[in-house]
Chain A
Amino acid sequence: KQEVTQIPAALSVPEGENLVLNCSFTDSAIYNLQWFRQDPGKGLTSLLLIQSSQREQTSGRLNASLDKSSGRSTLYIAASQPGDSATYLCASARSNDYKLSFGAGTTVTVRA
Protein backbone atom coordinates (compact mmCIF):
# COMPACT_ATOMS: atom_id res chain seq x y z
CA LYS A 1 0.00 0.00 0.00
CA GLN A 2 1.40 3.38 -1.02
CA GLU A 3 1.97 5.81 1.85
CA VAL A 4 2.53 9.46 0.98
CA THR A 5 3.91 11.85 3.57
CA GLN A 6 4.23 15.61 3.40
CA ILE A 7 6.43 17.51 5.79
CA PRO A 8 6.00 20.07 7.23
CA ALA A 9 2.24 20.13 7.82
CA ALA A 10 2.30 23.93 7.89
CA LEU A 11 4.69 26.64 6.81
CA SER A 12 4.69 30.42 7.25
CA VAL A 13 7.11 32.63 5.31
CA PRO A 14 7.47 36.32 4.52
CA GLU A 15 6.65 37.48 1.03
CA GLY A 16 9.48 37.05 -1.43
CA GLU A 17 11.00 34.01 0.20
CA ASN A 18 11.38 30.81 -1.82
CA LEU A 19 9.19 27.89 -0.72
CA VAL A 20 10.32 24.27 -0.56
CA LEU A 21 7.63 21.65 0.00
CA ASN A 22 8.54 18.01 0.49
CA CYS A 23 6.69 14.85 -0.44
CA SER A 24 7.84 11.28 0.18
CA PHE A 25 6.29 8.00 -0.94
CA THR A 26 7.00 4.43 0.11
CA ASP A 27 6.51 2.54 -3.18
CA SER A 28 8.84 3.68 -5.97
CA ALA A 29 6.80 1.86 -8.63
CA ILE A 30 4.83 4.93 -9.56
CA TYR A 31 3.28 5.91 -12.87
CA ASN A 32 3.32 9.63 -12.19
CA LEU A 33 3.25 12.18 -9.40
CA GLN A 34 1.00 15.20 -9.31
CA TRP A 35 1.06 18.37 -7.22
CA PHE A 36 -2.22 20.11 -6.42
CA ARG A 37 -3.22 23.35 -4.79
CA GLN A 38 -6.32 23.59 -2.60
CA ASP A 39 -7.79 26.87 -1.40
CA PRO A 40 -10.01 26.82 1.71
CA GLY A 41 -13.39 25.28 0.94
CA LYS A 42 -12.46 24.63 -2.66
CA GLY A 43 -11.54 21.68 -4.85
CA LEU A 44 -8.09 20.72 -6.07
CA THR A 45 -6.28 22.56 -8.84
CA SER A 46 -3.59 20.63 -10.65
CA LEU A 47 -0.25 22.44 -10.65
CA LEU A 48 2.29 20.03 -12.12
CA LEU A 49 2.29 16.44 -13.34
CA ILE A 50 5.57 14.54 -13.50
CA GLN A 51 5.64 11.25 -15.39
CA SER A 52 7.78 8.49 -13.91
CA SER A 53 10.33 8.88 -16.72
CA GLN A 54 10.82 12.58 -15.96
CA ARG A 55 13.01 14.22 -13.36
CA GLU A 56 11.25 17.57 -13.14
CA GLN A 57 8.53 19.84 -14.46
CA THR A 58 8.35 23.61 -14.49
CA SER A 59 5.52 26.11 -14.81
CA GLY A 60 6.24 29.77 -14.19
CA ARG A 61 7.50 30.18 -10.63
CA LEU A 62 6.80 26.53 -9.86
CA ASN A 63 9.27 23.70 -10.26
CA ALA A 64 8.75 20.12 -9.14
CA SER A 65 11.41 17.45 -9.03
CA LEU A 66 11.01 13.68 -8.79
CA ASP A 67 13.50 11.14 -7.48
CA LYS A 68 11.86 7.73 -7.70
CA SER A 69 14.80 5.82 -6.26
CA SER A 70 14.65 7.76 -3.02
CA GLY A 71 10.86 8.09 -3.05
CA ARG A 72 10.84 11.87 -2.98
CA SER A 73 9.38 14.82 -4.79
CA THR A 74 9.96 18.48 -4.02
CA LEU A 75 7.88 21.47 -5.06
CA TYR A 76 9.74 24.77 -5.29
CA ILE A 77 7.87 28.06 -5.45
CA ALA A 78 10.11 31.01 -6.24
CA ALA A 79 9.58 34.49 -4.84
CA SER A 80 6.45 33.64 -2.87
CA GLN A 81 3.45 35.99 -2.85
CA PRO A 82 0.47 36.27 -0.48
CA GLY A 83 -1.64 34.75 -3.24
CA ASP A 84 0.37 31.55 -2.91
CA SER A 85 -1.20 30.95 0.49
CA ALA A 86 -3.05 27.62 0.22
CA THR A 87 -2.70 23.93 0.98
CA TYR A 88 -0.46 22.00 -1.38
CA LEU A 89 -1.02 18.27 -1.83
CA CYS A 90 1.05 15.72 -3.64
CA ALA A 91 -0.33 12.47 -4.99
CA SER A 92 1.33 9.50 -6.62
CA ALA A 93 -0.32 7.14 -9.09
CA ARG A 94 0.78 3.50 -8.79
CA SER A 95 2.12 1.74 -11.85
CA ASN A 96 -0.03 -1.35 -11.51
CA ASP A 97 -3.45 0.26 -11.14
CA TYR A 98 -2.91 4.05 -11.47
CA LYS A 99 -4.61 4.67 -8.13
CA LEU A 100 -3.82 8.06 -6.64
CA SER A 101 -2.57 8.16 -3.07
CA PHE A 102 -2.54 11.57 -1.45
CA GLY A 103 -0.47 13.13 1.26
CA ALA A 104 -2.23 15.17 3.94
CA GLY A 105 -0.85 18.39 2.48
CA THR A 106 1.30 21.32 3.55
CA THR A 107 -0.58 24.50 4.45
CA VAL A 108 1.39 27.54 3.35
CA THR A 109 0.92 31.08 4.63
CA VAL A 110 2.81 33.87 2.89
CA ARG A 111 2.91 37.01 5.05
CA ALA A 112 2.80 40.40 3.31
Chain B
Amino acid sequence: DIQMTQSPSSLSASVRDRVTITCRASQSIRSYLNWYQQKPGKAPKLLIYAISNLQSGVPSRFSGSGSGTDFTLTISSLQPEDFATYYCQQSYSAPYTFGQGTNLEIK
Protein backbone atom coordinates (compact mmCIF):
# COMPACT_ATOMS: atom_id res chain seq x y z
CA ASP B 1 0.00 0.00 0.00
CA ILE B 2 1.10 3.57 -0.63
CA GLN B 3 1.55 5.45 2.63
CA MET B 4 0.54 9.10 2.80
CA THR B 5 2.14 11.20 5.53
CA GLN B 6 0.88 14.67 6.34
CA SER B 7 2.57 17.35 8.37
CA PRO B 8 1.88 18.91 10.67
CA SER B 9 -0.77 16.78 12.39
CA SER B 10 -2.19 19.90 13.96
CA LEU B 11 -1.77 23.57 13.35
CA SER B 12 -2.94 26.71 15.12
CA ALA B 13 -3.40 29.82 13.02
CA SER B 14 -5.28 33.08 12.92
CA VAL B 15 -7.76 34.54 10.48
CA ARG B 16 -5.94 36.04 7.46
CA ASP B 17 -2.87 33.88 8.05
CA ARG B 18 -1.26 32.00 5.18
CA VAL B 19 -1.10 28.28 5.94
CA THR B 20 0.67 25.39 4.23
CA ILE B 21 0.07 21.69 4.82
CA THR B 22 2.38 19.11 3.34
CA CYS B 23 1.75 15.56 2.20
CA ARG B 24 4.36 12.98 1.27
CA ALA B 25 3.70 9.72 -0.55
CA SER B 26 5.82 6.62 0.03
CA GLN B 27 6.30 6.29 -3.74
CA SER B 28 5.55 8.36 -6.79
CA ILE B 29 1.85 8.90 -7.36
CA ARG B 30 2.31 11.08 -10.42
CA SER B 31 -0.51 13.65 -10.38
CA TYR B 32 -3.05 11.49 -8.54
CA LEU B 33 -3.23 13.60 -5.40
CA ASN B 34 -6.44 15.02 -3.95
CA TRP B 35 -7.21 17.20 -0.93
CA TYR B 36 -10.34 17.08 1.21
CA GLN B 37 -11.71 19.27 3.99
CA GLN B 38 -13.75 17.76 6.80
CA LYS B 39 -15.65 19.61 9.49
CA PRO B 40 -16.84 17.90 12.69
CA GLY B 41 -19.80 15.62 12.11
CA LYS B 42 -19.74 16.21 8.36
CA ALA B 43 -18.62 14.26 5.33
CA PRO B 44 -15.33 15.15 3.67
CA LYS B 45 -15.49 17.71 0.88
CA LEU B 46 -13.27 17.57 -2.18
CA LEU B 47 -11.21 20.75 -2.43
CA ILE B 48 -8.46 20.05 -4.94
CA TYR B 49 -7.86 17.18 -7.36
CA ALA B 50 -4.90 16.15 -9.48
CA ILE B 51 -2.49 18.20 -7.36
CA SER B 52 -3.67 21.68 -8.25
CA ASN B 53 -7.14 21.68 -9.80
CA LEU B 54 -9.73 23.52 -7.75
CA GLN B 55 -13.02 21.66 -7.40
CA SER B 56 -16.02 23.67 -8.57
CA GLY B 57 -17.23 26.12 -5.94
CA VAL B 58 -14.05 26.06 -3.86
CA PRO B 59 -12.64 29.51 -3.09
CA SER B 60 -9.50 30.57 -4.89
CA ARG B 61 -7.63 31.09 -1.61
CA PHE B 62 -7.07 27.32 -1.69
CA SER B 63 -4.28 26.08 -3.91
CA GLY B 64 -2.24 22.93 -4.36
CA SER B 65 1.17 22.17 -5.72
CA GLY B 66 3.83 19.49 -5.87
CA SER B 67 4.87 16.52 -7.93
CA GLY B 68 5.86 12.89 -7.62
CA THR B 69 5.92 12.29 -3.88
CA ASP B 70 5.74 15.72 -2.26
CA PHE B 71 2.69 17.93 -2.27
CA THR B 72 1.34 20.99 -0.51
CA LEU B 73 -2.02 22.56 0.20
CA THR B 74 -1.92 26.31 0.77
CA ILE B 75 -4.64 28.55 2.12
CA SER B 76 -3.60 32.09 1.26
CA SER B 77 -5.73 33.97 3.77
CA LEU B 78 -7.52 31.91 6.37
CA GLN B 79 -11.20 32.56 6.85
CA PRO B 80 -13.25 31.49 9.90
CA GLU B 81 -14.94 28.74 7.89
CA ASP B 82 -11.59 27.16 6.98
CA PHE B 83 -10.92 25.78 10.45
CA ALA B 84 -11.33 22.06 9.87
CA THR B 85 -9.36 18.87 9.29
CA TYR B 86 -7.63 18.42 5.95
CA TYR B 87 -6.74 15.11 4.32
CA CYS B 88 -4.63 14.29 1.32
CA GLN B 89 -5.46 11.16 -0.68
CA GLN B 90 -3.74 9.28 -3.44
CA SER B 91 -5.91 7.94 -6.25
CA TYR B 92 -2.99 6.41 -8.18
CA SER B 93 -3.10 2.88 -6.90
CA ALA B 94 -5.64 0.87 -4.90
CA PRO B 95 -6.11 0.79 -1.99
CA TYR B 96 -6.62 4.54 -2.27
CA THR B 97 -5.03 5.75 0.92
CA PHE B 98 -5.46 8.96 2.87
CA GLY B 99 -3.07 10.92 5.02
CA GLN B 100 -3.71 10.91 8.74
CA GLY B 101 -5.17 14.40 8.61
CA THR B 102 -4.13 17.90 9.68
CA ASN B 103 -6.34 19.58 12.26
CA LEU B 104 -6.36 23.31 11.62
CA GLU B 105 -7.41 25.19 14.74
CA ILE B 106 -8.00 28.80 15.61
CA LYS B 107 -5.15 30.42 17.52
| Binding partners A and B | no
Residues of B within 8 A of A (CB): none
Interface residues of A (CB under 8 A from B): none
